[in-house]
Structure 1
Amino acid sequence: MSATTAPAGPAAAPAPQAGFRPPNMPLTTLGLALASFMQVLDITIANVSLPTIAGNLGGSSSQATWVITSFAVSNAIALPLTGFFTRKFGERKLFMWATLLFVIASLLCGLANSMGLLVAARALQGFVAGPMYPVTQALLISIYPPHKRGQAIALLAMVTVVAPIAGPILGGWITDNYSWEWIFFINVPIGIFASLVVGSQLRGRPEKLEKPKMDYMGLITLVIGVGALQVLLDLGNDEDWFNSSKIVILAIVAAIALAVFVIWELTERDPIVNLRLFRHRNFASGTAAMVLAYSAFFAVGLLVPLWLQRNLGYTPIWAGLATAPIGILPVLLTPFVGLYATRFDLRIVASLAFVAMAFTSFVRSGFNLDVDFQHVAMVQLWQGLGVALFFMPVLTILLSDLEPHEIAAGSGLATFVRTLGGSFAASLTTWGWNQRSTIHHAELTEHIGAYDPAIRQTVDLLGRGDLQRGAVSLNQMISQQAAQIGFNEIFHLLGILFLVVIAFVWFAKPPFTAKAAGGAAAGGH
């Protein structure tokens, strides 16, 4: 890792990089932020382009989903390895090489002439993207003075929120106006710029490298366990979950491999993933709060566009425009949150965020099929207030009691668990919505009698004399209403979950301030 391992405390010696400042701080910050934005953007930018990609490359829709799945699986495997990579190569070199390899992988994605090549290139892209966000976070924290680290974390928080929102909109626009290849080609100039700028600006930054031995058992069980789990979560809904032998086998493999992984890493002298970081109280409680809140937030971001398109008939672009206001307040307020939040108890700031996000979830639980665009967009806007107050305080809390040399590993581990939480949320909420919709459809049709004169008259009116067509129309109306009730129930549960998260935040203990060695996140009580 790129710091000494001296214990932090009032008398601790400064870490080697504690006093290092790049020649041009704004330019360095821009390079780091652009790389992070590019990496997070690519998680969602290809989603709306999948039908076009499948058509152009002669693949099926199920094959096209592997463009997303391959990225997610390899990204999830690489994230917890960040600590090992930083110890071996140093944060500056790891950032440069990961970013340049991301550029190469993006170029290969755009040049792919078959679905197999594209999936392989996306897998490479996902793997090298893994360390980029955690290392960017560690570098930003190390180059900013303690009283400004909250602003650095707030900047990354804004990237985390805005990039996934911008991804589908930008991807759809590029695909419609140019060609799908350009959703990958645009990474090339951005990545080269970011890598060269950060590499030159941080040249001379002292780093203490180690020679950690390769923990092969940890690596193998991590790859098998996380790979099987991620594929299970991605395919679960399509395969009807545990009614499929494929899902059962994946679940067994994942459970065994991850159990061996956890036991091995906790007993290994030099583990490839340092699970002992959870001994830190703030890291453990902050990570738990981050995972639960991000999972609920991710579920909102997934369900609202799906609901707009399935139930209200929105096109993908209009669904994107209706949901986009969630990013307005984070962009406007994040600089102020970074500047002033540390003057308050960060647990209060985070609690206010979760109250705001719970409130908007409860509002959505009262939506109906007649809700208009303005109402949907306004609720998204107000959820943005909660998002603006969410990421920076929770990130600061979870990093606050890590030693300087643990920050990159801690950020990678927290991001890994958060990513898995998002995958669980995506699978569970869509499954839950489908299940509740089916149940409510059955309940609603129980009250419809085929020989009821009122029902027959309704069917006749809907079909304009054609009973079969009228029956189909009535069934569609019932399906829409059942899906709406299921949607409302899911959001009621999400609102409760946001309130539950508040308890985890209050397990953390102040002060949420930088370590004396100068490497931890700044915060305030």
Structure 2
Amino acid sequence: MSDEFAQKPPAFGIWAGFIAMCVGMFMAILDVQVVATSLPTIQGALDIPPDQMSWIQTAYLIAEIVAIPLTGFLTRLLGMRRLFVIAISIFTLASVGCAISSGFAELICWRVLQGFSGGTLIPAVFSAVFILFPVRQQGVATTLAGVLAVLAPTVGPIVGGWITETYSWHWLFLINVIPGIASAIFAWSQLPRAAMQLSEGRKLDFLSLGMMTIALAALEIALKEAPERGWNSGLVLGLLVLSIASAAGFAGKTLRADSPVVDLTNFADRNFTIGCILSFTLGIGLFGSVYLMPVFLAFVREHNALEIGTVMLVTGLAQLLTAPIAVALEQRVNARLLSAAGFAFFAVGLGLSALQTPETDYAEMVWPQVIRGLAIMFCLLPPTRLALGSLTEARVPDASGLFNLMRNLGGAIGIALIDTVIYSRSPVLGRTIVDKLSAGNVETAKFVGIPLGMFAARPPGPIDADTMAMLQPLVEKAALTQAINEAWAMIAILTIAALVCIPFARKQGTSNNAARLH
């Protein structure tokens, strides 16, 4: 970015092009959520075996997580404008392909293409913030991108539920077509033009690329399989060993390369590393909360997708209300202080959800959601500036890919840990509840939802088979609720733990680049 450009407000066209990029990113993130809502519908329509249904999502996520760190290389090769238009065009085409798929294999192929093209859109948008805009406008641009990035998972369930109940499953993919075409047209016509650097393609290290792909894909599959198969199963351990070995080989080769596929030396910048730790932790809490709420509302409260989406809208509304405040404060308050406040409040919102009972519903879930919604923008904007704000323009695309990759990895690992807690703890907690009921524990009976008159009339002692059969659904829901509460508590503790690294960040603006941008 030139000094001359940094001192002038960007033209209206640049803002229009950037908004088009944000819309494309929003559709890519939304796609994951709306499809997750309607997996059973797609499974039934295409006659997919139940044990293979999850691959509809896993195929997308593996391709996405491989594409994210490649965004820096692709930006250098094609230029930001050309990369975005190609990516959103492929994403739109792949969405049509998914909609017209007639079988499982065909759908998976389109999902891989959709995931890879969608994966480049997120880091491309956050790179654009620091490439297109002067410092005084980066807060507004980051907020716009951040609101859409975190709003998509929140509104995804209600959009997916409404589409599934109102139209056919094909429209889960076809809703991407018009926004995708419009984004491509606006971005092509409004974003700054840059020449392709085809020489970058000749420098591509295919061995490093292969090792990175294997490392990320093996890790994603291991995290998917571990909760059900067990972390010590042969398949999971083998995949984790393969991932670690491939990652080590990739890191060793990349750090010695003159033109690396991904520039890992960005981690030498302390603020970037701390920003990535915060991004990783936000991924655990953000993806974890968006995952835990539907699990509770569907399996404990037995709500449908549309009702679940309605409950979860509270978080999105709180985010939108906070966005202008976040922009104003981000320009005036130290990024470290805002990050600390954001993560502290986010942890409180997560912790409050660990107090749920089987009767908890919309009214009791409002305030935890409000607190999380108010905190999210402060968990996203200041860490983004910490991570990327002091880097040179040439480093930003690679760094943005790594920064966004950390959030997605945090989400994948967080969901795997959550599933592990739910799978492993629910049976144990169920047996504990039965033992307490046998001992005549009134508080446990109240928690489970047994009428106290009926419970008091029963003498303490082992529960007979007929009574147990009647109580089993209540006990299972109570055990699942307690396991979900433990998962909420776990991600709250991890969020609090991230605060430890914030004091080690340098005060923003100490680097030469930050001074130049100001």
Structure-2-length-normalised TM-score: 0.90
Alignment of 1:252-271 (within 5 A): 252-271=241-260
Q: Which has the higher contact order (CA 8 A, sep 6+)?
A: 1
- Alpha-carbon contact 1:154-1:338 (below 8 Å) kept: yes
Cα offsets for 1:244-269 (capped at 9, x unmatched): x3223222222221221122212222
Any idea what SS the aligned residue of 1:273 has?
A: coil
Q: Which range is displaced more, 493-502 or 191-200? A: 493-502
2:7 and 2:63 map into 1 onto residues whose CA distance is 33
After the TM superposition, which residues 103-502 of structure 1 pair with which residues of structure 2 at under 5 Å, given as runs?
Answer: 103-204=92-193, 211=200, 213-243=203-233, 245-447=234-436, 468-502=465-499
| Cα distance change on mapping 1:459 and 1:50 into 2, 3 Å | farther
In 2, Cα distance between the equivalents of 1:28 and 1:388? 23
Displacement of 1:169 in angstroms is 1.4
Residues 335 and 514 of structure 1: CA distance in aligned 2, closer, same or farther (over 3 Å): farther
- Cα 1:411–1:18 change in 2 (3 A) is farther
State how far apart, in whole Å, the 2-side matches of 1:94 and 1:449 are: 64
Relative to 1, partners in 2 of residues 1:451 and 1:439: Cα closer, same or farther, differing over 3 Å?
closer
Aligned amino acid, residue 231 of structure 1: I
Question: 1: distance between equivalents of 2:65 and 2:17?
Answer: 27
Q: CA deviation at 1:507?
A: 1.8
Deviations 1:340-396 (A, max 9, x none): 322011111111111211222222222222334211123212221111322111111
Equivalent residue of 2:23, what SS? helix
Mapped partners of 1:117, 1:17: distance in 2: 47
Task: Output the amino acid matched with 2:226.
Answer: G
Q: Give distance in 2, aligned partners of 1:62 and 1:87.
A: 41
Identical-pair percentage = 26
Shift of 1:17: 8.9
Say if 1:18 and 1:405 are closer, same or farther in 2 by CA, change over 3 A: farther
Deviation at 1:141, TM superposition (A): 2.7
SS at match of 2:359: coil
Residue among 36, 57, 61 paired with 2:46: 57
Q: Which runs of 4+ in 1 moved over 6 A?
A: 15-20, 206-209, 517-520
Name the structure 2 match of 1:503: 500
Report the Cα distance in structure 2 between the residues aligned to 1:311 and 1:518, rounded to whole angstroms. Answer: 54
The one-letter code matched in structure 2 to 1:48 is T
Contact 2:336–2:382 (CA under 8 A) maintained in structure 1: yes
Query: Aligned residue for 1:7?
Result: none
- 8 Å CA contact 1:283, 1:398 repeated in 2: yes
Q: Distance in 2 between matches of 1:89 and 1:513?
A: 32
**Equivalent-residue separation in structure 2 for 1:76 and 1:445 (angstroms):** 43
Greater fraction of residues in helix: 2
Partner letter of residue 344 of structure 2?
A: V
**CA positional deviation for 1:515:** 6.3
Structure 2: distance between partners of 1:66 and 1:187:
21
Q: Which residue of 2 aligns with 1:6?
A: none
Find the aligned partners of 1:43 and 1:231 in 2 and give their Cα distance.
17
CA shift digits 1:91-122 (9 cap, x unpaired) = 11111111111111111111111111111100
Pairwise CA distance, 1:27: 2.2
Q: Say which is worse superposed, 41-50 or 246-255, in terms of deviation.
A: 246-255
CA contact (8 A) 1:152 1:338 kept: no
Distance in structure 1 (CA, Å) of the matches to 2:188 and 2:22: 14
How far apart are 1:498 and its partner, in Å? 2.0
Please provide the CA RMSD for this pair: 2.9
Deviations 1:284-304 (Å, cap 9, x if unpaired)? 011111111321222122112
Deviation for aligned residue 1:240: 3.4
Looking at structure 2, the residues matched to 136 and 278 of structure 1 have their Cα atoms a distance apart, in angstroms, of 21
How far the C-alpha of 1:500 sits from its partner, in A, is 1.7
Contact 1:77 1:127 in 2 (8 A): yes
Instruction: Sort the Cα spacing of 1:363 and 1:72 in 2 relative to 1 into closer, same or farther, 3 A.
Output: same
Is the 2:75–2:83 contact (alpha carbons within 8 Å) kept by the matching residues of 1?
yes
Check the 8 A contact 1:403/1:519 in 2, yes or no: no
Contiguous gaps of at least 5 residues in structure 2: none
- Residues 210 and 336 from structure 1, CA distance in 2 versus in 1: closer, same or farther, beyond 3 angstroms? farther
Q: Is the 8 A contact 2:326 2:378 kept in 1?
A: yes
Q: Deviation at 1:481?
A: 2.5
- Residue type at the aligned position of 2:306: I
Do the aligned partners of 2:95 and 2:176 also contact (CA within 8 Å) in 1? Answer: yes
Of stretches 15-24 and 477-486 in structure 1, the one that deviates more from structure 2 is: 15-24
Query: How many residues were matched structurally?
Result: 503
Structure 1, residues 206-249: CA drift from partner, whole Å, max 9, x if none?
78775250111111111111111111112222333433x32232
The 1:272–1:334 alpha-carbon spacing in structure 2 relative to 1, beyond 3 Å, is: same
Asked whether the equivalents of residues 16 and 206 of structure 1 are also in contact (C-alpha less than 8 Å), the reply is no
Instruction: Quote the Cα distance in structure 1 between the aligned partners of 2:252 and 2:291.
Output: 34
